[in-house]
Amino acid sequence: MKDWNLRYAANMRHYEGYSIGKLLGLINDPEIISLAGGLPSPDMFLRAEFQMATRQRLERDIDRIMQYSNIRGEAELIEAVIAFLKNDGIRVTPDNMMITTSAQQGLDLVGRLFLNPGDAVVIERPTFAGALAAFEMQGPIYLGVDLESDGIDVGRLQDVLSDCRTAGRLPKFIYVVPDFQNPSGVSTSLAKREILLDLGDRYGIPIIEDSPYRKLRYQGAMLPSLYSLDQKRGGGRVIGIYTFSKQFCPGMRVGFNIGPPEVIEKMTNIKEGSTLCTPKYNQDMCAAFLTEVDLDAYFERCCVYYGDKLEIFLKAMADCFPPERGVTWTQPEGGMFLWVSMPPQVDTRQLFHSALKFKVAFVPGEACYGERTERHHMRVNFSYPSRAQLRDAVKRLSDCLEQLGI
Ligand SMILES: Cc1ncc(COP(=O)(O)O)c(C=O)c1O
């Protein structure tokens, strides 16, 4: 067959997937310290619990594990998630919820359900590159609104929405990551969460709340989720996208979407046509974590462990980059990432290749823009490398920049 490209669907011809994935492929030298991934540390993996649950479930339930599972999700896991959410101030019933094969599928379902080519979507600037990869398949137009140190610029958002209304084309949804955002680590303040809901309400636009890092808070007080705040107002405006990848382990590929029953029903229909069901074994492992582990103690351990790494990383940055070097970075209170801004003349895509020579890697920030790309930022991850590697990585980055005169 010649020229496959002509046979591809129009929206797939130029589709290149997740740009960060390709970059990670370039990091194949084991001496490179990678700040590029978004991996939880295996130090926090619940290995013994996983092995024990596997043994028990295989003995008890092997025929069902080897069978197809419910599209919507296994009843045991759904019940466990409902209890998990109740602890976080969210009340849902099985009608409001579906299990997904992790949040990336949750986002894909959002894109497929809501977007026609050319539809507008409001995103934070910068935003999660994987969400762009998911939505991109439908060919939307991105309306980026700058992220400030306390969340999206709500004044600008109001202007954007008002312009859209004047033009007669409102965005299909507003996509935000309010807790320790990927890539910036920024959290949306309570005041801005309320304003976001006000704006969603005023303009009749649903809000997609993507929340993988919520439990990973190392400092400061927990803020209510947009979903729970919306429930206090009567509910129905927010769709929640969750994953257990960062809290338990990404290999499990289990997450869930919550929202109005009719939306969840439609998403379940789409899941039926794509992956059909999330493997029962994976759902069982997740249910075992949720019901058989002392979650308060476990999350507390995670927060101490990652909080320590964050502190080490921030200290190393402050030691290596005094203000006169013109490098700035965010001050997250949780999550796994920091957003580092270089002087404007630095193109972090080029810097990426120079940094590989210094055996350190990061994600060039350009991957995190839907439009009006900025090139002098980078995303760095502090959850995966060891403490010593974090210090070394910052030193290597500093040496690399010094060689470039920064
Ligand atoms: C904001 C955000 N949403 C969704 C995902 C995807 O999660 P998962 O790997 O569980 O599909 C990630 C993963 O990094 C993320 O940071």
Q: Give residue 19's pLDDT band: very low, low, confident or very high (50, 70, 90).
A: confident
Cβ-based neighbours of 81, under 8 Å, separated by 6 or more: 97, 99, 256, 290
Predicted pLDDT at 17: 87
Mean pLDDT, the chain, as a whole number?
Answer: 96
Residue 339's CB is within 10 A of a number of other CB atoms, namely: 22
383 pLDDT band, cuts 50/70/90, is very high
Of the pLDDT bands very low, low, confident and very high (cuts 50, 70, 90), residue 257 is very high
Q: Quick check: CB of 279 below 6 Å from ligand 1? A: no
The pLDDT of residue 129 is 96
Residue 144: closest CA among 133, 134, 268, 132 = 132
For 334-367, the pLDDT digits (tens) are: 999 999 999 999 999 999 999 999 999 999 999 9
pLDDT at 281 over 90: yes
Environment class of 3 (CB within 10 Å of its CB; exposed 0-12, middle 13-18, buried 19+): exposed
Q: Which atom of ligand 1 is nearest to the CA of 106?
A: 11
Domains of the chain: 4-45+297-403 (3.90.1150.10), 68-295 (3.40.640.10)
Q: How far apart are CA 147 and CA 167, in angstroms?
A: 24
The Cα–Cα gap between 267 and 269 comes to 5
CA of 210 to the centre of ligand 1 (A): 8
Atom of ligand 1 nearest to the CA of 243: 10
- pLDDT value of position 35: 97
Tokens of 296: 């308060």
**Contact 250 CB / ligand 1 (< 6 Å):** yes
Q: Give the distance (Å) from ligand 1 centre to CA of residue 244.
A: 9
Q: In which band, very low, low, confident or very high, does the pLDDT at 171 lie, cut at 50, 70 and 90?
A: very high
Q: Which atom of ligand 1 lies nearest, measured to the CA of 38?
A: 14
pLDDT beyond 80 at 81: yes
Pocket flag, ligand 1, residue 130 (CB < 6 Å): yes
- Binding site membership of 128 for ligand 1 (Cβ less than 6 Å): yes
Per-residue model confidence (pLDDT) at position 24:
80
Mean pLDDT of 308-319: 98
What is the per-residue pLDDT for 23?
Answer: 79
Q: pLDDT-derived band of residue 2, with 50, 70 and 90 as boundaries?
A: confident
**Contact between 239 and 209 (Cβ < 8 Å):** yes
pLDDT, one tens digit per residue, over 182-209 is: 999 999 999 999 999 999 999 999 999 9
278 in contact with ligand 1, CB cutoff 6 A: no
Contact 12, 251 (CB under 8 A): no
